[in-house]
Amino acid sequence: MNGPDAALAFFILGGGFWVVRPLAAAIAKRIAGEHRPAPQDPQEREAVLEELQQLRQEVTELQERMDFAERLLAKQRDVERLAPPH
**Domain residues for 70?**
3-82
pTM equals: 0.47
Name the residue among 62, 52, 54, 60 with its Cα closest to residue 14: 62
pLDDT (tens digit per residue) in 32-86: 776 667 668 889 889 989 999 999 999 999 999 999 999 998 888 877 776 676 6
Cα distance between residue 11 and residue 69, in whole Å: 10
In sequence order, the 6+-apart residues with CB closer than 8 A to the CB of 35 are: 29
pLDDT (tens digit per residue) in 3-22: 777 777 777 777 776 777 88
| φ/ψ (deg, to 5) at 41 | -70, 125
H or E segment at 45?
A: helix 42-82
Domain count within the chain: 1
